[in-house]
Structure 1
């Protein structure tokens, strides 16, 4: 078992996660959905019970996301500095994505050599489509507002 510490940029949110081995032995997910790509997020998934928050757990702000009716979760970020911390399942909703698990943004962990991580691309754009930046504006224009 290996424990890693992490925090947001300003330090409001501080935590540790415990993994079954070294993070360099784990598969780290690089998702290409519109949110994760813009955040440059890299994820490690682990049981929620393996995370211990020392501060800021309840301060985190949420952004609800649903890739499809069967995959709902909340993106979590720091309310002060805006650091993207990762995602959390929307349990107990029936559409909760990976119940009992959390996805931590590996970029928030301390002392990680990113060049040594084993990355796996999660091609979410091909599965669920591309978010169209500016679509909301085009729709408003068509409505004449």
Structure 2
């Protein structure tokens, strides 16, 4: 399935392919504040439909996750990092997908605060 996603103002738009099998709620200092619900897919399954330069990037802590957001409206759309096996991954914020029923997603809680 292909999903469309965007920030609030629409300057950051993307499509992502895959089957949503659940979402992860993390309690680290970043995720707890932005309340995102993350779905992990191989990075090549996410395609930006807007210019790469329009997406802001925030790095913190160990600087291994590129948190991508809209500098205009502030919405976090996705993150980029490498999986433990080295595969490039995207962590899509399920809350920014269009016409998606988030209430049907099984949520796994991750204790990022302790890591």
Q: Which runs of 5+ in 2 are unaligned?
A: none
Q: Give 1:45 deviation, angstroms.
A: 0.6
TM-score normalised over the length of structure 2: 0.88
Q: What is the alpha-carbon root mean square deviation over aligned residues?
A: 1.5
Q: Give 1:48 deviation, angstroms.
A: 1.1
Q: Give 1:86 deviation, angstroms.
A: 2.0
User: Is contact 1:45-1:103 (8 Å) kept?
Assistant: yes
Residue 75 of structure 2: aligned partner: 83
- Bigger radius of gyration: 1
Matches of 1:56 and 1:8, distance apart in 2: 14
| Larger relative contact order (Cα-Cα within 8 Å, sequence gap ≥ 6) | 2
Matches of 1:42 and 1:57, distance apart in 2: 23
- Higher-helix-fraction structure: 1
Matches of 2:47 and 2:58, distance apart in 1: 22
Q: Does 1:120 align with 2:115?
A: no
Q: Which runs of 5+ in 1 are unaligned?
A: 90-96, 129-145
User: Is contact 1:14-1:56 (8 Å) kept?
Assistant: no
Matches of 1:54 and 1:86, distance apart in 2: 13
Matches of 1:104 and 1:58, distance apart in 2: 18
Aligned length: 112
* Secondary structure of the corresponding residue to residue 41 of structure 1: coil
Query: Where does 1:1-145 land on structure 2 (aligned, <5 Å)?
Result: 2-19=1-18, 21=19, 23=20, 26-66=21-61, 72-89=64-81, 97-98=82-83, 99-125=87-113, 127-128=114-115
* Secondary structure of the corresponding residue to residue 59 of structure 2: strand
Matches of 2:59 and 2:2, distance apart in 1: 28
Q: Give 1:84 deviation, angstroms.
A: 0.8
